[in-house]
Amino acid sequence: MFTVGNIFCGYFAILSTMNGRFDQAAEAIGIAIILDMLDGKIARLTNSTSGFGLQLDSLADVISFGVAPSILAFFWGLQNVDYRLGWIAAFTFTICGAMRLARFNVQAGRFKHFVGLPIPAGGGSIAAIVYFFEGPIVNRFGSAALVIAVFLLSLLMISRVKYSSMKNVTLGRKSHLTILVIALAVALIYNYTEWSLLVLALGYTLSGPLMRLYSIIHHRKRA
H helix intervals, 46-113:
51-61, 68-73, 83-107
Tens digit of pLDDT for each residue in 40-87? 777 777 776 777 877 888 899 999 999 999 999 999 999 888 888 999
- Please state, in angstroms and rounded to a whole number, the distance separating the CA atoms of residues 97 and 66: 5
> Is residue 97 within 8 Å of 126, Cβ to Cβ?
no
Dump pLDDT digits (tens) for 127-174.
999 999 978 888 889 999 999 999 999 999 999 999 987 655 555 555
For residue range 23-52, list pLDDT tens digits in order.
Answer: 999 999 999 999 998 887 777 777 767 778
The pLDDT of residue 180 is 80
Structure confidence at residue 223 (pLDDT): 61
Contact 213, 206 (CB under 8 A): no
Rounded to two decimals, what is the model's pTM?
Answer: 0.88
Cα gap 108→137, rounded to integer Å: 38
User: Can you tell me whether residue 176 is helix, strand or coil?
Assistant: helix
Q: Which of 12-16, 70-74, 215-219 has the lowest mean pLDDT?
A: 215-219
Burial readout 169-208 (b: 16 or more C-beta within 10 A, e: otherwise): eeeeeeeeeeeeeeeeeeeebeeeeeebbbebbbebbebb
Confidence band (pLDDT; 50, 70, 90) for 210? very high
Q: Which amino acid is at 166?
A: M
Rounded to an integer, what distance in angstroms lies between the CA atom of residue 124 and that of residue 197? 9
CA 85 to chain centre: 22
Please work out, in degrees rounded to the nearest 5, the angle formed at the alpha carbon of residue 135 by the alpha carbons of 129 and 141. Answer: 70
What are φ and ψ of residue 176, in 5° steps? Answer: -60, -35
Angle ∠(128,122,70) on CA atoms, nearest 5: 80
So what's the pLDDT on residue 113?
81
Per CATH, the number for 2-222 is 1.20.120.1760
Domain ranges of the chain: 2-222
Reported as a pLDDT band with limits 50, 70 and 90, residue 106 is: confident
